Amino acid sequence: MAIDLNADLGEEAGLGGTDVALLAVVTSAHIACGFHAGDPSAMRRTVQAAVEAGVVVGAHPSYADREGFGRRPVDRSPIEVADDVAYQIGALQGIARGAGGTVRSVKPHGALYNRVADDEVTAAAVAGAVRDAGDALVLVLPAGSPALAVASGAGVAVAAEGFCDRGYLADGSLAPRDAPGGVVTEPDVAAARAVALATGRPFPAIDGTSLELRCDTLCVHGDTPGSHAIALAVRRALAEAGVEVRPFAR
């Protein structure tokens, strides 16, 4: 058994200490492209640090919503969303080339991630933008979502993602962050969730419903309190369960 462990990074003005610590643990990093957080200098520093750590680089495009950290819905048509995603991917690709790296994957952020999971028209538009960006990019999408089939049908490689540090609703979607259990900050709980997701075993939704999700990659958010301790606990638990941690894209 094998699975990728990713983190969403580059969301601070510079290269934050949490980012550096997480790059020593994860195998993939999705880097903010300036719309919800980060800036060109932060992108460059984060890419360089990822390359030095041997971590695979991915783009983390978002709605243009810095004030809301990209976690608020924005009224954008599917083609406008595709244009925004293409712009952000291209920006990181250019910076990555200058920093000695290559962008290998794309993972929408926040409210855009949630919209793509549920809106098949927008999912197709985003998949088209990823396909047209070249470099055989992998599109990271929520495990169990219809968007996986939409993107695959558009000729885009996909990776199904599960979350170590988030709670789930009974339908397999992410629980709101402000719901009880919506954010998991206990390292042992996150580690148990990671093993269940990596091995296809059932785990509880926030209402106690039993869920199973097939995943190619697991995420620890860089802005989750105690994210470094969570990531370390996840790596230990996966190793003890006989799960190899390696990137899904190379």
State pLDDT tens for residues 145-197.
999 999 999 999 999 999 999 999 999 999 999 999 999 999 999 999 999 99
pLDDT at 80: 98
Q: Average pLDDT, stretch 38-45?
A: 94
Q: Is the pLDDT of residue 15 over 70?
A: no
pTM of the complete model: 0.95
Rg of the chain, C-alpha, whole Å = 16
Q: DSSP E strands: which ranges in the chain? A: 2-9, 28-32, 56-60, 103-106, 138-142, 157-163, 203-204, 210-211, 217-221, 244-245
Work out the percent of the chain whose per-residue pLDDT is above 70: 98
Q: Which domains does the chain have, with CATH numbers?
A: 2-245 (3.20.20.370)
Confidence of residue 14 (pLDDT cuts 50, 70, 90): low
* Cα distances (angstroms) measured from residue 32 to each of 39, 47, 187, 238: 8, 10, 25, 27
- pLDDT value of residue 135: 86
Confidence of residue 245 (pLDDT cuts 50, 70, 90): very high
Compute, in degrees rounded to 10, the torsion defined by CA atoms 218, 107, 115, 150.
-90
Helices 187-199, 227-240: inter-axial angle, 10-degree rounding: 40
pLDDT score for 222: 86
Q: 78-128 pLDDT, tens per residue?
A: 999 999 999 999 999 999 999 999 999 999 999 999 999 999 999 999 999
d(CA 184, CA 180): 10
Instruction: Give the model's pLDDT for residue 13.
Output: 61
pLDDT recorded at residue 133: 97
pLDDT of residue 107: 98
pLDDT of amino acid 18: 87
The string of pLDDT tens digits covering residues 200-242 is 999 999 999 999 999 999 999 988 899 999 999 999 999 999 9
